[in-house]
């Protein structure tokens, strides 16, 4: 017999899980202990449960293998929730384990007691409390299968402290996870191939689940002569240097870049749930555009009216479309749309009156890091410049929350470095977002992870100032004091630099990267440059 906590951890390790991120708590001691001692699992202790959940989310987003986020009862569950919501909206597999009050205390609002499945129901695919130790291993197996199949997402198991204290038979050893890969229907694929082959202006929207089918995606784009867009914050799903690549469907996508999508007659949606930002507020694709969608989850495949909805494994479906592709790729000229994208991506000369133009800061970062660096970003207007001016040419290089969760950047970078230590990993944040989770730099230092954090500091919740000025003509609650972020980084054990001039930036970034230590570069940007197109002053005047 073994402890119930050890049974949980053995099932996780057997399925391929490699890390459990947590803030420890007294309600799940046995799981913490077993994770710490298991040879294939690293227990990563973080400074805040939101950091733990963001790390678990980012690791799975990067690797495709779920990680675990663990926390204690109501208090930990509350802090963890933002990362679980992120995993749900971003379709990322995650296993959440929450310690729960002892079963003999349950239902009396015991210390930190919350109905955890009730609390988590709306932000998970499945949530349950496990009341019997002998059933624990089976619940964990089901949690793993549910998290990784169909539209992936987070699942939660609440584990009462007394259940974890029991002893159980060792779980059976099972093969590592292999989620079902529904086969595409040949007749649907023929109809899809017919539509794409006969189209005048076919475009592809590559979404969250297209990452494992890059070769097939490029092949389909070339063989059908289709233009390609990437969904919101999934820019690494298609090589941005490819002549068929036409741009990113995000917040603030310029009209010139959207035009080819608006003019398309057939839209092939690949592994994408067509969220609000990707669809430009549910405006695109329009009803008269013929949609072909491919998604392993039948419901998601049919969220939008589609001529052909293929509920199938993305890679298999694309491979079948390739097999059915016309002998001669139809000639379609995307040069106009491609030029529009390249123009929008071009970094302009500095527009800064004081400090650094955020677009120039992105350019300096691009010059300093290798092309296959992983770039994790927070949410905020600073990210408009990153998404606009970066070129994502390599797979698995973008970690960005499609739900716009602030505080994501630093924890995501920590997880990326743990999961892929050989790659250069950078977090890009605004000062508002950095100050929500920047303490995870201490986690990076403790685990010896040389991540680079770049803060584009404008002293504002700039995004909100923009919305307020546009809607109401004045601002409220958006100021951020001039915290000495370099000194803060020092105090957490990392290197810290402050840069106020564009010319200083690239050498400082190179020095920080060469140091082999966790480092923060605080870039003072011009707060007036609020989007790639507008200045705060213009919004105030308008």
Ligand X SMILES: Cc1ncc(C[n+]2csc(CCOP(=O)(O)OP(=O)(O)O)c2C)c(N)n1
Binding site for ligand X (CB under 6 A): 378-382, 404-407, 430-433, 458, 460-464
Cβ closer to ligand X: 28 or 434? 434
Closest separation between CB of residue 464 and ligand X, Å?
5
List C-alpha distances in Å: 528 to 27, 101, 381, 481, 534: 49, 51, 12, 17, 8
Cβ closer to ligand X: 46 or 149? 46
Closest separation between CB of residue 361 and ligand X, Å?
12
Closest separation between CB of residue 237 and ligand X, Å?
23
**Which residues contact residue 215 at a Cβ distance below 8 angstroms, ignoring those fewer than 6 apart?**
none
Closest separation between CB of residue 249 and ligand X, Å?
19
Compute the half-sphere exposure of residue 531: CA atoms within 13 Å on the CB side of its CA: 15
Closest separation between CB of residue 468 and ligand X, Å?
11
Cβ closer to ligand X: 11 or 251? 251
Cis peptide before 409 (omega within 30 of 0): no
Reported in sequence order, the residue ranges of 64-189 that DSSP labels E, i.e. its strands, are 67-72, 94-100, 126-129, 154-160, 167-168
Question: Which residue's CB comes closest to ligand X?
Answer: 430
Q: Say how far apart CA 398 and CA 159 lie, in whole Å.
A: 34
Q: Say how far apart CA 168 and CA 5 lie, in whole Å.
A: 9
Cβ closer to ligand X: 51 or 462? 462
Closest separation between CB of residue 525 and ligand X, Å?
8
Closest separation between CB of residue 242 and ligand X, Å?
30
Q: Say how far apart CA 161 and CA 423 lie, in whole Å.
A: 39
Closest separation between CB of residue 254 and ligand X, Å?
19
Q: Say how far apart CA 98 and CA 26 lie, in whole Å.
A: 11
Q: Say how far apart CA 83 and CA 424 lie, in whole Å.
A: 23
- How many residues are recorded in the chain? 542
Cβ closer to ligand X: 124 or 531? 531
- How many degrees, rounded to 5, is the angle at CA 428 between CA 462 and CA 373? 155
Cβ closer to ligand X: 292 or 427? 427
Q: Say how far apart CA 403 and CA 342 lie, in whole Å.
A: 26
Q: Say how far apart CA 358 and CA 293 lie, in whole Å.
A: 37
Q: What distance lies between CA 369 and its chain's CA centroid?
A: 20
Cβ closer to ligand X: 22 or 437? 437
Of 98, 94, 125, the C-alpha closest to 113 is 98
Closest separation between CB of residue 358 and ligand X, Å?
8
Cβ closer to ligand X: 152 or 407? 407
Cβ closer to ligand X: 27 or 463? 463
């Amino acid at each position: 017999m073994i402890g119930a906590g050890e049974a949980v951890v053995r099932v996780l390790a057997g399925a391929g899980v490699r890390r459990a991120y947590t803030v420890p708590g007294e309600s799940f001691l046995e799981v913490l202990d077993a994770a710490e001692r298991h040879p294939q699992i690293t227990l990563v202790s973080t400074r805040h449960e939101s950091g733990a959940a963001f790390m678990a989310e980012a690791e799975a987003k990067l690797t495709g293998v779920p990680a675990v986020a663990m926390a204690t009862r109501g208090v930990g569950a509350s802090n963890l929730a933002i990362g679980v919501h992120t995993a749900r909206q971003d379709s990322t597999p995650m296993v959440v384990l929450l310690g729960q009050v002892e079963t003999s205390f349950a239902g009396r609002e015991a210390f930190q007691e919350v109905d955890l499945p009730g609390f988590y129901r709306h932000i998970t695919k499945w949530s349950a409390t496990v009341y019997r130790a002998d059933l624990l291993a089976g619940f964990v197996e089901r949690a793993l299968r549910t998290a990784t199949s169909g539209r992936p997402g987070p699942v939660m198991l609440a584990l009462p402290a007394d259940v974890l204290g029991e002893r159980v038979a060792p779980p059976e050893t099972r093969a590592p996870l292999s989620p079902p890969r529904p086969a595409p229907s040949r007749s649907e694929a023929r109809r899809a191939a017919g539509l794409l082959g006969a189209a005048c202006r076919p475009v592809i929207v590559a979404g969250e689940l297209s990452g494992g089918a890059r070769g097939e995606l490029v092949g389909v784009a070339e063989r059908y002569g289709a233009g390609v867009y990437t969904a919101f914050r999934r820019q690494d799903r298609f090589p941005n240097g490819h002549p068929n690549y036409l741009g990113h469907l995000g917040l603030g996508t310029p009209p010139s870049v959207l035009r080819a999508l608006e003019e398309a007659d057939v839209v092939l949606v690949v592994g994408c749930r067509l969220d609000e930002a990707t669809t430009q507020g549910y405006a695109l694709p329009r009803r008269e555009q013929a949609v072909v969608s491919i998604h392993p989850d039948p419901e998601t495949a049919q969220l939008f009216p589609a001529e052909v909805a293929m509920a199938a494994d993305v890679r298999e479906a694309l491979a079948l479309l390739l097999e059915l592709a016309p002998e001669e790729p139809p000639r379609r000229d995307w040069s106009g749309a491609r030029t529009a994208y390249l123009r929008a991506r071009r970094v302009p000369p500095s527009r800064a009156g004081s400090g650094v133009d955020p677009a120039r800061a992105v350019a300096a970062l691009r010059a300093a890091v290798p092309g296959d660096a992983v770039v994790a970003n927070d949410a905020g207007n600073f990210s408009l410049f990153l998404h606009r001016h970066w070129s994502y040419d390599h797979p698995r290089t973008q970690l960005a929350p499609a739900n716009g969760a602030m505080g994501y950047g630093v924890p995501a970078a920590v997880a990326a470095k743990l999961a892929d230590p050989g790659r250069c990993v950078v977090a890009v944040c605004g000062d508002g977002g950095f100050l929500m989770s920047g303490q995870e730099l201490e986690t990076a230092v403790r685990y010896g992870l040389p991540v680079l954090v770049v803060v584009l500091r404008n002293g504002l919740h700039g995004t909100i100032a923009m919305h307020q000025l546009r809607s109401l003509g004045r601002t409220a609650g958006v100021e951020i004091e001039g915290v000495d972020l370099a000194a803060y980084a020092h105090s957490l054990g990392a290197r810290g630099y402050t840069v106020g001039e564009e010319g200083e930036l690239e050498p400082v970034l190179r020095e920080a990267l060469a140091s082999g230590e966790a480092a923060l570069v605080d870039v003072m940007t011009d707060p007036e440059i609020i989007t790639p197109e507008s200045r705060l002053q213009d919004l105030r005047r308008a």
